[in-house]
Amino acid sequence: MLRVLVTSQTHESIFPMSPFVIAPPPQAVVPTTDGGLFPVRRIFCVGRNYAAHTREMGGDPSREAPFFFTKPADAVVTGDASCPYPPATASLHHEIELVIAIGKGGTDIPVEQALAHVYGYAVGIDLTRRDLQDEAKQARRPWDMAKGFDASAPISAIRPAAGIASANSGSIRLMVNSDLRQNGDLSDMIWNNAEIINYLSGLVTLAAGDLIFTGTPDGVAAINRGDRLVGDIAGIGHLTTIVC
């Protein structure tokens, strides 16, 4: 048994006999549609995975290898809570995305076995400080501060895969107030769910608790304080958040 004498009175009073020198951070979680909690380990995001969105961002939608960026696990915003408008931007953009929740980890997971590693799916919004991203692209700098800021990953409850007919096709839409801003289909993804898991598991060892945002259809645009975002993916779920 691990026994550590904690001398900090403040910490000892919070966590008696704890080896931690500060209070450990709370576990980020996403509710599931059947009443459970999914613990979040990491958040990976696929860039440019719909041809029309790739074109609107000035890219070439040829089938190049997928690329990835990340957000902190505690960037999730759950339960249709509101999202604070982040600092240091004048161009906050929405990107509606299907999210894969990994239930079983692995390395070099074959495409044919990939979906057996999925716990479930959710609706997410990859909030993006587009002005910071544009500056980073220009300067060939990392995207972290454009993508991985606080509360940058609102997400719906996770629906277990067992109850989903197909997460490879179906409508994916985002309304901002009364405007239909994004209106695509999951079948338009350049890399499908199994291919994304296959590719990403060749770059890192995937683990239970990982979330993968799978890219956004076209129609991304700026949002402002007071805007109400409603996202839905057929057969997966709904997400509402207000920017405040």
Binding residues for Mn ion (CB under 5 A)? 95, 126, 216
State which residue, 126 or 210, has the beta carbon closest to Mn ion: 126
Residue placing its CB nearer to Mn ion in the complex, 25 or 75: 75
Residues paired with residue 31 on neighbouring β-strands, in sequence order: 37
Helices (H), 140-239: 144-147, 193-200
Least Cβ distance, residue 119 to Mn ion (angstroms)? 21
For the chain, give percent helix, strand, coil, nearest 5: 20, 35, 45
Q: Which is nearer to Mn ion, 95 or 227 (CB)?
A: 95
We find the least distance from the C-beta atom of residue 185 to Mn ion, in angstroms, to be 17
Residue type, 5: L
The residue with its CB nearest to Mn ion is 126
C-alpha 123/C-alpha 60 separation (Å) is: 26
- Least distance between Mn ion and beta carbon 39 (Å): 23
Q: How far is the CB of 3 from Mn ion (least distance, A)?
A: 47
The SS3 assignment for 39 reads strand
> Whose Cβ is closer to Mn ion: residue 192's or residue 216's?
216
Q: Report the DSSP pairing between strands 43-47 and 211-213.
A: parallel
Shortest distance, CB of residue 205 to Mn ion, whole angstroms?
Answer: 23
Per the CB < 8 A criterion, the answer to whether 48 and 59 are in contact is yes
Any idea which residue has 């695509």 for tokens? 184
Q: Which is nearer to Mn ion, 193 or 216 (CB)?
A: 216
Cα–Cα distance between 143 and 134 in angstroms, integer?
9
